Amino acid sequence: MAAAEKGDGGDEQIALEVTVLSAESLRNRSSPLLPGRRLRPYVILSSSSAANRGQLAPIYRTRVDEGGAHHPTWRDTLRVPVDASFLRGGERGQGKEGGAAVHVSVLSKRPFRGPVRLGWCEIPACDVVDGLWPPSARRRLSYALRHPRHGGHGRGVIHMAVRLFGPHLERLVPPAPRPAPEPGWFGTAMGIPRAAPVSAFRVPESGRHVSYWRR
């Protein structure tokens, strides 16, 4: 289910298709004097491309999960139009801080009042246009949600599957260049197996895990 709350109705050919799968460990903004109500979470998406041009960015949203509370499930697919700046940002490896990205916010619906913002994250272009997989290949991404006010972590994790959707993607997004061979290194080497160090099995500290789906 996909819904656009506002937009200019422009004809966009290239879009980032985002399947919002689920979230876990969501935290409500509450205090001992004002205990939090039951969470009724939903997700909204918008692109930084329109905002960078000084335009009002269309907002796309999922349905409200009435029963999942702190561990909601949606599995809703939304298509967010993106422009050439998103593709260029991925090719250059940009988008981590303030670059081309799709903004993701998790909110909780409240009766008679506006929604509560639970957390947010961004899908940077370089996580989608990486030159390693075809741009139309579906990637599964997970991001730690940031605090709505100060941007700190610890607001839960959201899981999504993303891919670029549109015509002629392979021509618009060229593959990453192959690295040049190091001078003085050539020929074939034979490796001798040995036990791996303990550090090789440590879980990375990053809150983002990237995997890939095959259709």
Domains, in order of start, for the chain: 3-173+207-212 (2.60.40.150)
The one-digit pLDDT tens for each residue of the chain (215 residues) are 555 554 444 435 889 999 999 999 998 866 444 456 789 999 999 987 655 556 677 899 999 999 999 999 999 999 999 887 787 766 555 545 556 899 999 999 998 888 999 999 999 988 988 777 888 899 999 999 998 888 787 789 999 999 999 887 777 665 555 555 555 544 444 445 555 444 434 433 444 444 444 44
At residue 53, the pLDDT reads 57
Tokens standing for 12?
Answer: 């966009």
User: How many angstroms separate the Cα of 91 from the Cα of each of 20, 87, 95, 117, 173?
Assistant: 24, 6, 10, 32, 7
Q: Is the pTM of this model over 0.85?
A: no
Residue 24, number of CB atoms within 10 A of its CB = 15
Diameter over CA atoms, the chain: 72
Q: What is the DSSP string of 67-134?
A: S-TTS-EEEEEEEEE--HHHHHHHHTT--SSSSSEEEEEEEE--TTSPPEEEEEEEEEGGGT--SSS-
d(CA 114, CA 108): 9
DSSP string, 12-67: ---EEEEEEEEEES------SSS------EEEEEEEHHHHHTTPPPPEEE----SS
